[in-house]
């Protein structure tokens, strides 16, 4: 059992009261703690992006909010599980002096690479190269005023 320390009046005398004070302080300043954490993560992310390049290596996207870090040779899931956790990749990269084997990808290219093993920007010749014909017909009808092919839009009465 903890004995209270002899302290000046008004100061905390036990660990229990210190924990209660800390909890109350956190709860009354929760938004400040949250904002400081977000700013810290964003600063670290910008530092990492500046080192590895500030654009998507595949499509050239440059808005930082869309950019993520990618393991070039795969293995990101195993890396996170084994050593760093899911949310601290930027801290790990800074702490390990920006190791090779990483690249900047936008969220779309990163997800496509994860699902298809290669980004569509690198595997197709055009935007709709692998789209089903029904989707292409729908796109054409929207783009050309309801007709299914561009030639129909130019032919007239």
Q: pTM (2 decimals)?
A: 0.57
Lowest mean pLDDT among 55-59, 78-82, 104-108, 127-131: 127-131
- Three-class secondary structure of residue 71 per DSSP: strand
Q: Mark whether 76 and 110 lie in a shared domain.
A: yes
Q: Mark whether 70 and 136 lie in a shared domain.
A: no
pLDDT at 102 over 50: yes
Q: Mark whether 64 and 137 lie in a shared domain.
A: no
Domain that holds residue 152: 125-157
Residue 21 lies in a domain: no
Q: What is the sign of the dihedral through the CA atoms of 47, 48, 51 and 57?
A: negative
Residue 22 lies in a domain: no
Q: How far apart are alpha carbons 64 and 3 in whole angstroms? A: 53
pLDDT band, very low/low/confident/very high, at 113 (cuts 50, 70, 90): confident
Q: How far apart are alpha carbons 150 and 140 in whole angstroms? A: 7
Residue 115 lies in a domain: yes
φ, ψ for residue 71, nearest 5 deg: -80, 120
Q: Mark whether 101 and 136 lie in a shared domain.
A: no
Q: How far apart are alpha carbons 150 and 147 in whole angstroms? A: 7
pLDDT band, very low/low/confident/very high, at 157 (cuts 50, 70, 90): very low
């Amino acid at each position: 059992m903890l004995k209270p320390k002899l302290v000046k009046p008004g100061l905390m005398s036990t660990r229990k009261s210190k924990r209660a004070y800390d909890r109350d302080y956190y709860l009354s300043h929760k938004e400040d703690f949250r904002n400081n954490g977000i700013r810290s993560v964003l600063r670290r992310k910008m530092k990492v992006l500046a080192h590895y390049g500030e654009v998507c290596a595949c499509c050239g996207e440059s808005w930082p909010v869309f950019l993520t870090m990618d393991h070039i040779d795969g293995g990101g899931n195993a890396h996170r599980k084994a050593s760093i956790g899911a949310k601290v990749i930027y801290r790990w990269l800074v702490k390990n002096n920006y190791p090779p084997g990483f690249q900047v990808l936008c969220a779309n290219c990163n997800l496509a690479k994860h699902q298809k093993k290669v980004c569509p920007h690198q595997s197709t010749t055009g935007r709709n190269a692998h789209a089903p014909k029904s989707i292409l017909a729908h796109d054409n009808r929207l783009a050309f005023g309801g007709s299914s092919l561009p030639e129909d839009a130019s032919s007239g009465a």
